[in-house]
Amino acid sequence: MLRAAGLTDVGRRRTSNEDVVLVRSDLFLYAVADGAGGHRSGEVASALAARSIENYFGATVRRTHNQPEFDRFGMATGARRLSAAILKANADVMEIARSSPEHRGMGTTVVAACFSPRSAMMHVGHAGDSRCYRLRAGHLEQLTQDHSLFTDVLEQRPELEDAQLERIPKNVVTRALGFDPKLRISLRSHAVVAGDRLLCSDGLTGMVQTATIAEIMSEKAAPEAIVHRLLAAANSGGGRDNISVLVVECTDGPVSDSVPPPTARELAMGREADMGDPELLILGIEELESINAASASDELLLALEGLVTRDSKKP
């Protein structure tokens, strides 16, 4: 059983609000989108993305009733559904940006979460730097990793001095809806237990210290009250950006975080699919010729063509 509340605020520095908060407890769906673009296009992008994700979930409710919790590959079908919804939203935002000159160049970040009651699992997908946190037993954990220039540089050059890292702009995102038709969605699934609280936010963490967020999230109050407290704290901290806060609380559910395994039938199907495959295939190392063209993209095969030709000429 879930209780949820979400609000967005223009903040103290901006004249318009380009954030959108989506709360659809009937669909077990929650999201925060932060739009960007001139001529108020950011508002259009974030609203369109949220509506597209919402519509996709509404249109696929009946189909999910007949699907198992895990597919033949052991992947959660709820996670795949969320990823498909975000990618549909990306296509919709790109289509409007192409067809409307006034909205050209618009985009939006998204962080979305959906819950699967049958398996007591939560699936989180995101593109950009809007974040998702989970509070469990007083510990606040960040579940998403920003898709930002700063994060990318840190991953590739962890040895850089702090003085060098400080010169990297913190507000440059490397993934967002509306710019790339082949957008990659970061997706993670988590078991949910009674007492968990989920926080999806944008424009909050830069204004409020993590310890303060954890303290407010730990209060024995309804999600509505916590949302108002966090918004007030962000504005008190400067409110330099639009602020969006969404809190979901699991009021009743499992008491352990064990994830139900795939059924015997699903495991059997997976074994059949894997029969005959090598134990480990590392692209560029061995057995590249065994890639099935029906299951690999043309671009991947083209990228590997030169490597395969080179290796085949070796004595």
In the structure, what pLDDT confidence band is assigned to residue 263 with cuts at 50, 70 and 90? low
pLDDT tens for 135-148 read 999 999 999 999 99
* Residue 16 reports pLDDT greater than 80: yes
Range 69-77 average pLDDT: 87
DSSP 268: H
What's residue 102's pLDDT? 87
Least confident window among 121-130, 223-232, 253-262: 253-262
- Which comes out higher in pLDDT, residue 261 or 79? 79
The helix/strand count (H/E) of the chain reads as 9, 10
Contacts of 50 (CB under 8 A, 6+ apart): 20, 21, 22, 31, 33, 89, 110
In the predicted model, what is the mean pLDDT of residues 98-117? 93
- Among all chains, which residue has been given the structure tokens 């077990």? 28
Residue 260 has pLDDT above 80, yes or no: no
> Phi/psi at 42 (nearest 5 deg)?
-60, -40
> Of 66, 110, 113, nearest to 87 (Cα)?
110
Element (H, E) at 82: helix 77-99
Q: What pLDDT was estimated at residue 266?
A: 55
User: pTM of the prediction?
Assistant: 0.83
Give the N- to C-terminal CA distance of the chain in Å, as an integer: 64
pLDDT over 80 at 273, yes or no: no
pLDDT tens for 274-308 read 555 556 556 555 444 444 444 444 554 454 455 44
Give me the mean pLDDT over the 96-113 stretch: 93
Contact yes or no for 168/146 (Cβ under 8 A): no
pLDDT at 27: 96
Q: What are phi and psi of 149, to 5 degrees?
A: -60, -40
Average of pLDDT values for 111-116? Answer: 97
Backbone angles phi, psi at 134, to 5 degrees: -125, 130
Section 239-253 average pLDDT:
93
Q: If pLDDT is split at 50, 70 and 90, which confidence band does 71 have? A: confident
Share the mean pLDDT of the chain.
86
Q: For the domain 2-250, what is the CATH code? A: 3.60.40.10
Q: Where are the domains of the chain?
A: 2-250, 278-312
> What pLDDT, on a 0 to 100 scale, did the predictor assign at position 301?
47
> Residue 38 has what pLDDT?
72
User: pLDDT tens digits, residue range 169-228?
Assistant: 888 999 999 999 999 999 999 999 999 999 999 999 999 999 999 999 999 999 999 999
Q: What is the predicted pLDDT for the residue at 297?
A: 47
Mean per-residue pLDDT for 74-84?
A: 94
Q: What is the pLDDT of residue 269?
A: 55
